[in-house]
Amino acid sequence: MGTRLWRAALAGTVVAATVGSAALLATDAWAQSAYAHPWLGVAMDSDAVGPGVRVGHVVRRSPADLAGLRQGDRLVRVAGTAVARGAEVVHAVAAYAVGETVDVAFLREGAEQTAHVTLAAYPSQDDMMRMDLVGTQAPAWRDVEGVSGAFPASIGALRGRVVVLDFWATWCAPCRIVAPKLGALQARYGAQGLSVLGVSTEEAQDVALFAQRLPVRYAVAVDKHAETTRSYGVASLPTLVVIDKRGIVRDVSIGYDPMADARLESTVRGLLAEAAP
């Protein structure tokens, strides 16, 4: 299993938290309990100033996305109940069943609109990330600083190569298991066009020292303000994002499962065999 952070799985929505060594952590059992509840599919900015609750992110193909909600919208009422905090949105959504339609009033550019949201069952974390990322252009990197190896300046610089992007932390025990396996993958397929890259939200000095001691045998960077980690929707560590030669996300893997090693290698080999753009 991975270590959960950034998003807390709360009955019917996703609430943003802080990324990093002081991140909000949730047990797998607690998060699993949310899966039977209805799901809206938004992350909410808990510290945004203004009326209602600001939507920080809308999961692609989620009920909120299908109903037309967008990042930056401000939720003001759910099923007629005024909301000013994320917890109030969670509570309002939890009162309904999967398959029911709920009217969500929101502000967009100062004008109030209403979305008719048909709630879905809460997906697993893996499925949620795949919905959000697989088949889309890999998000650009922001404020990412290489601290070990030759870390590329942008995802665009890797066009024509297959990328395995590893979101990890020095304090994450499963990450320590995964890192040598990824290093071996880089050694086997690097010459054929594979780039394994690690991203952490910790302090640069701590990450560089850890990468040297382990050692981590691929390029590593720090995500100084966690913007890149958030843009990929990372909610557990380790999270592996596999990107093809065109820059399209093709797979997502969360946590550590020894049975998934062969699947990852098979995916990489298949992508390396594809024609370059």
pLDDT tens, per residue, the chain with 277 residues: 444 343 333 334 433 333 333 232 232 333 444 446 899 999 888 776 789 999 988 999 999 999 999 999 999 999 999 999 999 999 999 999 999 999 999 999 999 999 999 999 999 888 999 999 999 999 999 999 999 999 999 999 999 999 999 999 999 999 999 999 999 999 999 999 999 999 999 999 999 999 999 999 999 999 999 999 988 989 889 999 999 999 999 999 999 988 889 999 999 999 999 998 8
133 and 256 fall within a common domain: yes
> Is 268 part of a structural domain of the chain?
yes
Distance CA 210, CA 208 (A): 6
- Token look-up 């919208």 returns 73
Q: What are the C-alpha distances in Å from 70 to residues 8, 57, 64, 261?
A: 20, 7, 8, 36
Total domain count, the chain: 2
CA within 13 Å, CB half, 194: 25
Closest Cα partner for 51 from 15, 13, 77, 90?
A: 77
Q: Structure pTM?
A: 0.78
Calculate the CA dihedral of residues 91, 93, 94, 97 and round it to 10 degrees.
160
101 and 129 fall within a common domain: no
112 and 230 fall within a common domain: no
Single out the residue in 121, 148, 180 at which a domain terminates: 121
Q: Which residues pair with 82 in a beta bridge?
A: 77
- Token look-up 């946590």 returns 255
DSSP assignment, residue 42?
E
pLDDT for residue 41: 94
129 and 260 fall within a common domain: yes
65 and 133 fall within a common domain: no
216 and 263 fall within a common domain: yes
pLDDT for residue 263: 94
The secondary structure element, H or E, covering residue 107 is strand 101-108
> Is 277 part of a structural domain of the chain?
no
CATH of the domain at 75: 2.30.42.10
Single out the residue in 66, 93, 121 at which a domain terminates: 121
150 and 73 fall within a common domain: no
Q: What phi and psi, each to the nearest 5 degrees, are found at residue 43?
A: -105, 135
Single out the residue in 72, 89, 121 at which a domain terminates: 121
11 and 89 fall within a common domain: yes
Domain that residue 98 falls in: 3-121
> Is 85 part of a structural domain of the chain?
yes
> Is 63 part of a structural domain of the chain?
yes
155 and 88 fall within a common domain: no
pLDDT for residue 160: 97
> Is 229 part of a structural domain of the chain?
yes
**In contact, 202 and 20? CB cutoff 8 Å:** yes
77 and 200 fall within a common domain: no
129 and 266 fall within a common domain: yes
46 and 140 fall within a common domain: no
